Structure 1
């Protein structure tokens, strides 16, 4: 959140907290004036304060979600009805009018949880009806209400409260009938809301039920104890209000009401933690997007055990899951994941209920996109590197052939000509001329040998003709120190053979120049689908790979063909260089 947005949020939170303090103070004062006991005041403050505290925390942690503001509003409006205990006419009228506003806010909170918004036409109409009933019906009821005559019209036991500033005495005769209709309308809205909540639960997915569970548990417990609480009032003979049983029920009822807002908060923060897990998707996908492993990570984050993950397969032009089955892109509960350039990457086939939380789905899609694009970029980089190595090796072979068939052939032809000239000068009396012919023959012979060495270093012909094992044996014969070769007489992919050969070349060069080795052993064998080439010398060890450009180059070359280089070089213990290349 930017600094300006952060300041705006802090101002809204501060304003809401200040309003809550004013509402609680005025409501508690008026409630106390009506004759409420100290325990009644504490319980009332505890419930309203719990909603305010939990709401402010949720608002701060999830500012984009309206659940926090709704909980805060529930705590603020909780005290409005208490203002009917005041002898100030304006406060009494306000309390009488908005007495049930906290019930409408609570209905809004329950029906919009956990997204903080109403997702169906029915829930929107229910909430609109509740607010309209309080705003319009509450106003008409207050216009008819005379506290001196209708002494049992509020939950407050107050004989000297009021008067009602906006009462119309001539209309008071209609109060009882309208009050009954007012409460009946409230019960009807509550009954329809209860049905909507039950239907919402029945049709919810496992993921949705887990998100709703903390709030529903809190509400359920609160309703149970409220019913017990009401039973003590409705059926006086059920139990003495001063008995231990009654006091226990009252206490549990209060505790359950205090627990409800924190149950909402727990559910909301659980979803926040769920979003925090999204960042781990990039790590979970790693460098190998195995569909089964990626799906497990997505199931954990989204909480949807029915989820199917389809990864795009260009050769099939379709999304394919881990079992090889195609995942259709049409229908509800589909979230496609595309690269920045529009390329299809993956498709999530999930519970349609998750569409109610687009923020979570968007975060998951973004994290999955990042992870899969990273994999794609690494694959492309590896493909490019592999093509560069292949091109370089092909160029080496072409250059070796050009030297062998071109310059070397011409030098051999020139040597043969010089030898004929030398034989013709065998009886020539000019000794200087004969010596010049001998020197020309010797120089040409040396040039041919050097050219063969250069061509062999660029790309040995024996490697192309006969394979890796003969090439390594030929390399050992020309080495500057004793080399023992143990190589299986098998052929491999030309690129793999070339990479293995030059790995050994570099290892022998290091052993002769830097390690002070007396002997080297070379082995080449196939282990499963890998060609393993090892060189071991008895030199001084202590190879520093960080500063050795040759070994770093080898590692890069091996990585380009999906190979791995391992170096074990303890100080004073020789050096073991192991290269593993794919050959399956």
Structure 2
């Protein structure tokens, strides 16, 4: 937005000057048209067409300063009035009007052949544009040198019996005017026909998206050619001039006034198409699958044939959603590299889209952002998953060390103390017997506490027998009645430990906060997902946003791509559902 504001500020004086020129040209043209016999309605319609081109062009130029289409539309609006200058009584202005009368048609050819990006797409188009301007410059001059308005009053659309004088007239050459004028008009028609052929060929090669962009050009051609054909028909059959001529002229002018609006609508539609790109990352979502990305790109680009290939390091190639390799060269190919310059993706699209490099650049930037964000999220999940697995492995190691080390030593010490107790059973000193008994009691308490710590770190039954027996053992130790329904089977150790400690947390919450009287636990496989549910009959009202325990559970599950769902209406108990991938 800042760059756009800077460009707009720099263009301000230029646009203002263009607006002043359009206003001046329209005013001078209106005066000349009125003086040459044009009615108030004729002048109003003429101003509407010329100023519609100029106004729409100024908006297009302002909104898309790098595109020449707006400049050409402004030029069309200004040159539209040049022919009217023949109606003034200023000889120099008459000469300008007579010479450059058809300049607006050459500009229109330029506009149509270069729409929508303001650049000619082929050498034929460039030659045709150059020939059109050359015809007006050279042919218009030759025609003006032989044109005496008093002798050839029907040579222009104006009532020019009183026009002039023509300061460029060569009196001895007036007899050549019909021939020069005929050749001039014939070449103009030839340009029009070649232009139509070029546009038809361009249309046939274009994609659906490109055809939508070219539609305003087709509207302009259709309207211009239709009314030009009517003018030719009137010249051939003058008796038809009274058949609804006023209505046809009105329709012609109104239709031509709508043409620049159609061009402007086409340009703004393309700008809105670029605006859609900004929402591409959001719409694709946090998990941008190749199929979803391709569908989104097809919609944004307006090209149903678009294919997306993602870089696969193992294959050293771009691979599409169907596993097929895509080449990264040739026409209609846009490569997207990562911010580090490494291969990321490739787009194969309609080659016509290359005529809109700004759109492709915006799409590439959005695609890069979406893919790199997805890659970062995947990397973060993998790192977190490795941390969780490492922590779980460390818990199991600690449990084994406690069981095989400290617990075993305490058991041996307790066995030894029992033998000592038997030996001092008949000892006459009661304090000795009491001391031995006290030490034995302390050892038993220490052993029980150590077993509890080891079980809390990682229960041995979970490692040996799996999730179902571990949940059953947990239920037996719970402070309230618990019913367990667990399908038999083993899962990945991290999945089992995550599910187990999720149930531990939910049981603790049920006992401490929910004031539940009973709890049910279920664990079952559903396809490639392990579903563990804990349901209590407590007071409800649990909220993951308020409880650090539930937030911790959600984070732990997310680390292994799991999902936590909590349903806890006030007074309706609490259902906590954990889903963990186990495929």
> Which TM-score applies when normalising by structure 1?
0.93
2:55 aligns to what? 53
Query: Which range is displaced more, 289-298 or 13-22?
Result: 289-298
- Give how far 1:472 is off: 0.9
2:310–2:320 CA contact under 8 A, matched in 1 = yes
Alpha-carbon distance in 2 for matches of 1:317, 1:439: 72
**Quick check: 1:130 aligned with 2:132?**
yes
Secondary structure of the residue that 1:134 maps to in structure 2?
Answer: helix
Runs of 5+ unmatched residues, structure 1: none
Partner of 1:164: 166
> 1:284–1:294: 8 Å Cα contact kept in structure 2?
no
Task: Report SS of the residue matched to 2:570.
Answer: coil
Distance in 2 of aligned mates of 1:484 and 1:28: 94
**Residues 120-167 of structure 1: CA deviation (Å, up to 9, x unaligned):** 222222222322333344445545555556655543322332233455
| Residues 475-486 of structure 1: pairs in structure 2 closer than 5 A | 475-486=474-485
- Contact 2:69 2:115 (C-alpha < 8 Å) held by counterparts: yes
Residues 526 and 532 in structure 1, CA contact (< 8 A), matched pair in contact too:
yes
Aligned to 2:242: 242
| Matched residue SS, 1:554 | helix
CA contact (8 A) 1:229 1:253 kept: no
Q: Map 1:465-476 onto structure 2 (within 5 A).
A: 465-476=464-475
Identify the residue that residue 403 of structure 1 maps to in structure 2. 402
> Following the alignment from structure 1 to structure 2, what is the Cα–Cα distance between the partners of residues 419 and 214?
102
Residues 517, 537 of structure 1: 8 Å contact kept: yes
Q: Distance in 2 between matches of 1:409 and 1:77?
A: 102
SS in 2 for 1:115: coil
Aligned 8 A contact 1:418 1:437 in 2: yes
Equivalents in 2 of 1:221, 1:143: separation in Å? 31
Residue in structure 1 matched with residue 350 of structure 2 by the alignment? 351
Distance (whole Å) between structure 2 residues aligned to residue 272 and residue 532 of structure 1: 48
Alignment equivalent of 2:230, drawn from 200, 209, 228: 228
Q: CA deviation at 1:180?
A: 5.0
1:21 is displaced (CA, Å) by: 1.0
Matching of residue 375 in structure 1 with residue 377 in structure 2: no
Tell me what 2:122 maps to: 120
Residue in structure 1 matched with residue 35 of structure 2 by the alignment? 33
What RMSD over aligned residues (CA atoms) do the two structures have, in Å? 2.3
User: What are the within-5 Å matches in structure 2 for residues 467-546 of structure 1?
Assistant: 467-546=466-545
Stretch of structure 1 that moved more, 309-318 or 133-142: 133-142
**Larger mean Cα displacement after TM superposition, 342-351 or 179-188:** 179-188
Q: What displacement does 1:441 show? A: 1.6
Greater Cα offset, 75-84 or 330-339:
330-339
Say which SS state the counterpart of residue 336 (structure 2) adopts: strand
State TM-score, norm by structure 2: 0.93
Aligned positions, number? 581
Q: CA deviation at 1:104?
A: 1.5
Name the CA shift for 1:189/1:242 in 2 (closer, same or farther; >3 Å): closer
- Match for residue 8 of structure 2? 6
| 1:180-239 CA distance string (max 9 Å, x none) | 5544544444343333222222322232222212330342133113312331233113x2
How far has the Cα of 1:257 moved from its partner? 1.9
Alpha carbons 2:150, 2:160 under 8 Å: kept: no
- Residue of structure 2 aligned with 1:155, choices 154, 157, 164: 157
Deviation larger for 189-198 or 530-539? 189-198
How far 1:464 sits from its partner (Å)? 0.3
CA offsets 1:483-526 (integer angstroms, 9 cap, x no match): 22221221111111000100011011111222222222211112
Q: CA deviation at 1:360?
A: 1.6
Cα 1:149–1:225 shift into 2, 3 Å: closer
**Cα contact 2:86–2:163 (8 A) shared by 1:** yes
Q: Which SS does the other structure have where 2:242 is aligned?
A: coil
Write out aligned runs for 1:55-454 (5 A). Answer: 55-139=57-141, 141-142=143-144, 145=147, 147=149, 151=153, 153-166=155-168, 179-237=181-239, 239=240, 241-243=241-243, 245-454=244-453
Secondary structure at the aligned position of 1:429 is classed as coil
Provide closer, same or farther for how the CA distance between residues 249 and 230 of structure 1 changes in structure 2, counting only shifts above 3 A.
farther
Judge which range, 439-448 or 219-228, deviates more: 219-228
Rounded to whole Å, the distance in 1 between the matches of 2:488 and 2:199 is 75
Distance 1:142 1:229 in 2: 21
